[in-house]
Amino acid sequence: MRRRTFDALLAVGGLIVATVLVAAGGLLMWANNFVDDQVTTQLTAQKIFFPEAGSESANDPNVKEYIAPYLGQQVTNGEQARVFADHYIGVHLQEMAGGKTYSELSTISRANPDDAEAAAAVQTAFRGETLRGLLLNAYAFWQMGQIALYGAIAAFAGAALLLVLSILGLLHLRRTPAEAEVRIGSGVQAATA
């Protein structure tokens, strides 16, 4: 195969792959923006706030170090949702239920149907675990959006690299002698007459 033909094929192939990577990067950026907007919109509508600085719940040693950066803020993104779910709701549920899960509390309540305190604990655990689960779902979707952002950056970087390499290949094509050939296993050789 002629070296110029080989160089042209590689350069054009690189340009095609660069174009595909730009399209993929654009779609990944769209996915990131869509997910981020949806999570922010849904969390903002719920009007969930971290406790204010100095409040009793903010000073709880089991939560203080985790929620300190967010004191007084509204939960509006996935990371805040994770912290609120795991280090605020989760800790309070553990304290309220003595380490028992909703399922364990429900079993106790069903065994004692006249125990109003057990029934109230079941309802509190159910509501708390439901909110915690919803917040962790918001975190999961937000995290997928972040991964899409990293994928978009990688796709754009790959496209830029291939564009540069393709341009260099086209420039090299112009300097390659017309009679140069590529032989697999033997490198580039000039054609003989």
Summarize pLDDT for 75-86 with one digit per residue, the tens: 999 999 999 999
Low-confidence residues in the chain, pLDDT < 70? 185-193
- Model pLDDT, residue 137: 96
- Model pLDDT, residue 186: 57
- Model pLDDT, residue 25: 97
> What's this model's pTM, rounded to 2 decimal places?
0.78
- Model pLDDT, residue 192: 54
Cβ distance 22 to 28 under 8 Å? no
Closest CA to 21 of 155, 162, 150: 155
Residues 42-93: tens digit of each pLDDT: 999 999 999 998 888 888 888 889 999 999 999 999 999 999 999 999 998 9
